A and B are shown apart, each in its own frame.
Chain A
Amino acid sequence: MDLKEKLVSSFLAFENSIDIDAYAHDVRSDAIKIFEEKGFPSKKEEAWKYTSLNSILKEDYSVFPKQENALEYPQVKKYFIHDIDTYKIIFIDGKYSSHLSQTTHDGIDVCLMSAALSKPKYQLIIENYFNKAAEKDSLSSLNTAFSSEGAYIHIPKNKIVEKPIQIIHFSTGNESATMLQPRNLIVVDENSHVQIIERHQSLTSNPVLTNSVTEVFANKRAIVDYYKIQNDNENASLIDHTFVKQSRESFASVHTFSFGGKLIRNNLNFYQNGERIDSTLKGITIIGEKQHVDHNTLVHHIEPNCESHQDYKGIFDDRSTGVFNGKVVVEKEAQKTNAFQANNNILISDKASINTKPQLEIFADDVKCSHGCTIGQLDESAMFYMRSRGIPEKEAKALLMFAFSNNVLESVKIPELKQRITKIIANKLGVNIGFDL
């Protein structure tokens, strides 16, 4: 039985096994039909032209976690941002770990999707927001059909959430291969601010496939900063779908740091429903070996006087491959839009490759839209300059790569997170220099 059949035939059993309200049940039943009809995307589809899922779909994944696993905090502490106080929503093999988590209902809701989908007090939010931003493509639909667990965050109006919220999914490899489908819903009401850090981490070399969907709603004048750390091991793959729906005068940013994993696909969509909205999409990708990272972004400018800023940097070594497909749509009504997009890449090895494609569809006539992509090598004259000052080749290379990615790092608003990312990069580049760029 292939994975598609396995998933479709598991659906009914799944639906009977969990406690959900009628609305969610209908949404899920519709979603499985879409998946059944469309199946997994293939390279024949334009959006998947440069990313093949074949190599990861052939595993015999267990699609439901069978047993619960405990992890002790010291074992996994290094995956947390632990030097600051945070809320934590932690999952082990798809199951919530109350032991590692720190949730709250004190004025804000930082808790679980499973609770939100089953308890009457969340019903209104679920009916207003659940699956209202997600696209109806096959993989998002697959996630919707199986959505039962993940992070549920609701920040009512006029709340500035001081502590960042960490969402971490661990997989322990207790099955020979595991498929996870986390589903997050984040609703930030008027004038409220929140910062979220998300990470997926496999703890063994058993294959893991995560098909994750996150819906973010930034209501009027809300500020939402979302950070994704993708530094998983070589047998873990991630297909991430993040849909951000913004209302007027809101600010939302997503930073994606892709440093590890077998295959990573990021579908990141922003929808601007209102005036004077600011959307920021940034990423740093540093990969090697045979890793593959694909960024597929969409910014949909619907109303006037809005901005979007996209800045993606990629550094590719060995036989690694990258894809950047950045689509910007500016509707006819969206006059005075300012849309900026940049994708800069460095190929360290001549076996590495990147496919980069800006896609602009502009229907308004009074807009500023810019895009640029570059593919280059490390600047030899800069290398000699640094080496002539006593900085060895490896460190000089690393310093150049840091400098290259610096304007993405610079906009990270949590200093401890910035430090952590810097450290991960330094480890990855095999250098030990105290950069504080």
Chain B
Amino acid sequence: MLKINNLHANIEDKSILKGINLEVKPGEVHAIMGPNGSGKSTLASVIAGKEEYEVTEGNIVFEGEDIEELAAEERAHKGVFLSFQYPVEIPGVSVTNFMKTAINESRKAKGLEDMPAKDMLKLIREKSELLEIDRKFLSRSLNEGFSGGEKKRNEIFQMAMLEPKLAILDETDSGLDIDALRIVANGVNKLKSKDNAVVVITHYQRLLDHIVPDYVHVLYNGKIVKSGSKELAHELEEKGYDWIKEEVNA
């Protein structure tokens, strides 16, 4: 589904990603861990198509197509979804209107008519129940004044609405208390199928108790320096990242 080959990316001439290789197949869950500043969020943003980053080498292939030249919205239409570490507050746009616009724009891109209002409401009701989101919440301005937990739950609600093929969850566990973590993880697990894939980017192992990865990769200094099974996450939790850094620097 996703194949990243020797990906190098810069921001303002500063090199952040220095040769990433990663392959994600349908039905898989991958975790990308690593110390602060290792390039985890950059990788997520580059896959989603943030324009500030410049891909200088390598490529990103999604469903057999090179996507690094595509605009963020075109990648979204193909089924790429990024759950933001810091969801942006957009005063004046309600959650419902935002989702309606997003869904109908995706449909338009696929040559489909707008979703009938009745179906839209039903979908919203269904998915908000999945994330235990209160109806009142949906008429509030997007992310404005939301607590950390509400923002993250809202991200996964959007994922549920858009049903992406590939979901990248960037530090979705940060700022969550244990109940919110459970709701969010539960939501992601219910959305999982053999046809879609999830990449979980996290600093800590705690989310991975709930969303169990098939593979764990350690990103350090812009490269994946170690890959393994879910046990690797436990090892990192226990021993921290210093031993990885020592291994790499040795």
Show the binding face of A for B, using Cβ within 8 Å: 379-382, 384-393, 395-396, 399-400, 402-407, 433-437
Given contacts A385-B87, A387-B49, are A403 and B92 in contact (CB under 8 A)? yes
B46-68 near A? 1/0 per residue, CB < 8 Å: 00111110000000000000000
Q: Are A387 and B72 in contact (CB under 8 A)?
A: yes
Chain B positions 143-167 with a Cβ under 8 Å from a chain A Cβ: 158, 162
Contact of B106 among A379, A385, A390 (CB under 8 A): A390
Collect the chain A residues with CB atoms within 8 Å of residue B84's CB: 385, 388
Check B91 for interface membership: any CB of A closer than 8 A: yes
Give the A-binding residues of B (Cβ under 8 A).
48-52, 71-73, 75-77, 81-82, 84, 87-88, 90-94, 97-98, 100-106, 109, 114, 141, 158, 162
Shortest distance from the beta carbon of B49 to any chain A beta carbon, whole Å: 7
Contact B71 A390 (CB under 8 A): no
Most buried by B among A382, A389, A393: A389
Expressed in whole angstroms, the Cα–Cα distance for A404 and B92 within the complex equals 7
Among candidates A385, A395, A405, residue contacting B90 with C-beta atoms closer than 8 Å: A385
Q: Is the CB of B91 within 8 A of A403?
A: yes
Within the complex, which residue of B76, B93, B94, B97 is in contact with A387, where a contact is CB–CB below 8 Å? B76
Write out the residue numbers on chain B whose beta carbons fall within 8 Å of the beta carbon of A404. Answer: 92
Interface of A, secondary structure class, is helix
Min CB–CB distance A41 → chain B (angstroms): 37
B101–A400 CB distance below 8 A:
no
CA distance A28 to B16 in the complex (A): 74
Q: Are B87 and A390 in contact, CB atoms less than 8 angstroms apart?
A: no
Residues of chain A within 8 A of B75, CB atoms compared:
388
Cβ contact within 8 Å between B93 and A389: no
Bound Cα distance from A393 to B70, whole angstroms:
12
In the complex, which of the residues A388, A399, A434 contacts B48, with contact meaning CB atoms closer than 8 Å?
A: A388
Provide the bound-state CA to CA distance between A395 and B73, in Å: 11
Q: Which residues of B have CB within 8 Å of A437?
A: 92-94, 97
B104: A residues at CB distance < 8 A: 433-434
Within 8 Å by CB of B97, from A392, A396, A405, A435, lies: A435
Nearest to A432 among chain B residues (CB) is B108
Which of the listed residues B88, B101, B103, B162 has the most CB atoms from chain A within 10 Å of its own CB?
A: B101
**With A and B bound together, what is the CA distance between A252 and B46 in angstroms?**
52
Cα(A388)–Cα(B158), bound, Å: 11
CA distance A325 to B246 in the complex (A): 63
- Chain A nearest CB: distance from B238 CB in Å? 35
> What's the nearest-Cβ distance from chain B to residue A66, in Å?
48
Query: Could you list some 29 contacts between A and B, CB below 8 A?
Result: A381-B88, A382-B90, A384-B50, A384-B51, A384-B72, A388-B48, A388-B76, A389-B76, A389-B98, A390-B77, A390-B106, A390-B109, A391-B101, A391-B105, A393-B73, A395-B101, A396-B73, A399-B93, A400-B90, A402-B93, A403-B90, A403-B92, A403-B93, A433-B104, A433-B105, A434-B100, A434-B104, A435-B101, A437-B93
A433 and B103 alpha carbons, distance in the complex (Å): 12
Contact A388 B82 (CB under 8 A): yes
Give the number of residue pairs across the A-B interface with Cβ within 8 Å.
88
Q: How far is the CB of B108 from chain A (nearest CB, A)?
A: 9
Whether A382 touches B88, Cβ cut-off 8 Å, given contacts A390-B105, A393-B73, A433-B101, is: yes
Q: Do A389 and B97 touch across chains, with their CB atoms under 8 A apart?
A: no
CA distance A435 to B100 in the complex (A): 9
Please name all residues of chain A whose beta carbon is closer than 8 Å to the beta carbon of B141 when the two chains form the complex. Answer: 403
Apart from the given pairs A385-B90, A388-B82, 13 other A-B contacts in the complex at a CB distance below 8 Å: A379-B88, A385-B87, A386-B98, A386-B102, A387-B71, A388-B72, A389-B98, A389-B158, A390-B103, A402-B92, A406-B91, A435-B97, A437-B92
Q: Which residue of B lies closest to A407 (CB)?
A: B92
User: CA–CA, A395 to B75, complex, Å?
Assistant: 16
Inter-chain contacts of B73 with A (CB < 8 A): 387-388, 390-393, 396
Please determine whether A385 and B88 come into contact, CB atoms closer than 8 angstroms: yes
Which residues of B are found within 8 Å of A434, using beta-carbon distances?
100, 104, 114
CA gap between A436 and B92 in the complex, in Å: 11
* A385: chain B residues within 8 A (beta carbon): 84, 87-88, 90
Q: Are the CB atoms of B71 and A393 closer together than 8 Å?
A: yes
Known: A388-B76, A389-B158, A437-B97. A395 touches B88 (CB 8 A): no
Q: How far is the CB of A254 from chain B (nearest CB, A)?
A: 22
Q: Could you say which residues of chain A place their CB within 8 Å of the CB of B72?
A: 384, 387-388
Most interface-central of B73, B100, B141, B158 (chain A CB within 10 A): B73
- Chain A contacts of B49 at CB under 8 A? 387-388
Q: Whose C-beta in chain B lies nearest to the C-beta of A405?
A: B92
Tell me the smallest distance from the CB of A61 to a CB of chain B, in Å.
Answer: 41
Contacts of B106 in A (CB 8 A): 390
Within the complex, the shortest CB–CB distance from A293 to chain B, in Å, comes to 22
- Is A390's CB under 8 angstroms from B97's CB? no
Q: Is the CB of B50 within 8 A of A390?
A: no
| Residues on the B chain within 8 Å of A396, using CB | 73
The 6 closest A-B pairs by CB, nearest first: A403-B92, A390-B76, A406-B92, A387-B72, A385-B88, A390-B106
